[in-house]
Amino acid sequence: MHCLVLLAIALPVLAQDRFAPDEALLRARILLHEPLQKVIGATYIQTIERSYYKRTLAHDARETCDSIVGQKIKGQAKLQLYAKDRLRLQGGVSASGEETYRWPDSSLALAAEVREQTAGPFHTGALGPIISGVFQNQAAEVTFKSERNMDGRPMYEYRFRVTKTASNYRLKQGEAFAYDGAILLDPETAALRRITVRSTELPVSTGACEATVDVEFSRSPDLPQVLLPISHRLHFILRNGDESENISVYRAHPPAQPVSLALFAVRSGLRYFAELRTPIDTATAAAGDVVELAAVADPENERPRPSNKKRPLPLKLPVGTPLQARIVGIERQFGKPNYFLIALAIETVFVNGESYYLPSIMVSSAPPQLWEAVRKAQGQTEWKVQWQMGWQVHNRFNDFGKLVFQSSKPDYTVPIGHVVSFLTK
């Protein structure tokens, strides 16, 4: 570490207060070494907007990835947006350098739900592995290309290439693959401003042709020692011509203090009802957000029902008992019909001033005609390939009940007072 500091001080600066390209690259390697260590233990909130597109032309099984990507480059690929969703996760970097994710400020081990949500197109590595894979990887080939502008400021552009044998870039537990891309460095400070990574053709087993990652960086005012992405774009092209795009934004966030909650001991399968005390606005809400509710009386007691219809036993919570739920899925579907899908899971119940863990799943709710149309639409637009990343947009959060609201408007708000039923797990 001391040698690195001395080397940084000894680097010469040109008369016009700019590094030469080779010197800027060396300086960047030194500058990026320490932040990779300092980022360990820091946490942040990452909000991910995901969009899913279907190619309008029928897929020809004889098409190669070269043909599909070539059509994309030439602007010949016609795509139709058919679904969008949003995630909000609390991320961090472990001591081993791996990025970790959980629901924001959650004191509970909810990794299963997080994994299910991130089973769609999702990318880790923007805070460490991507940088180390290029700047700290001695086998990475990095060459200066030219000077170019970014936001009106001159930047040094470098091209890089990492072979498969030197790569640590992989899709979930799959084989590593080669990649190349570009780097933009500030010639005055040698600060990393942008990195673009493009995979070579991905293994057939993934069902994808290529992945492209584009990340812009800045120092966080809250965590100046951490180089946070300010924008992060992930684009996939599948082997059937379909595509997806993720746009992520980040903000610094202090680590949540661990809280141990006692289990609210009740048998599974008990039903109870609660009403929203906070609205759910699909324009801003995301999977990972907390929703406040309060217990209400069973509204079905007032409704006539067939004598042969069995009902779950009730969980008798006093009316007004506060509850907290987590949004575990929120999705917008375009087509026939247009609808919004929301999934909630209860986490906490507050009884006599104490907080308890009450694992519950929501009972699905939608008019029967809408359910039938939704099932039909999902069958028509479902991904036709299974691949290692588990990307099937319509099969996520299957273990949770769903609220479905039909609307052709850009956004939908579930109002305060909307009643939802739950079953204890």
Q: Show Cβ contacts of residue 4 under 8 Å, excluding neighbours closer than 6 positions.
A: 30, 33, 34
Provide, rounded to the nearest whole percent, the portion of the chain with pLDDT above 90.
Answer: 41
Structural domain boundaries in the chain: 13-56+69-252, 262-302+310-424
Q: How far apart are CA 46 and CA 87, in angstroms?
A: 8
What's the distance, CA 169 to chain centroid?
Answer: 18
| Tens digits of residue pLDDT in 241-276 | 999 999 998 887 877 666 678 889 899 999 999 999
Residue 185 reports pLDDT greater than 90: yes
What does the pLDDT read at residue 13?
A: 41
CATH architecture of 262-302+310-424: Beta Barrel (2.40)
Residue 5 reports pLDDT greater than 50: no
Residue 135 reports pLDDT greater than 80: yes
Q: Which residue has the tokens 């600060």?
A: 191
Q: Exposed, middle or buried: residue 293 (CB in 10 Å: 0-12, 13-18, 19+)? A: buried
User: Across all residues in the chain, what is the average pLDDT?
Assistant: 80
Give the chain's length. Answer: 425
Pick the CATH number of 13-56+69-252 from 1.10.10, 2.40.30, 2.20.70, 2.50.20: 2.50.20
- 213: pLDDT confidence band, cut at 50, 70 and 90? very high
Q: How far apart are CA 65 and CA 203, in angstroms?
A: 11
Lowest mean pLDDT among 41-45, 285-289, 335-339: 41-45
Whole-model pTM: value is 0.83
Please name which of 212, 214, 253 lies closest in space to residue 231, comparing C-alpha atoms. Answer: 214
Greater pLDDT, 367 or 66: 66
Greater pLDDT, 230 or 259: 230
| Tens digits of residue pLDDT in 77-103 | 889 998 999 999 888 766 666 677 888
**Residue 271 host element (H or E):** strand 271-276
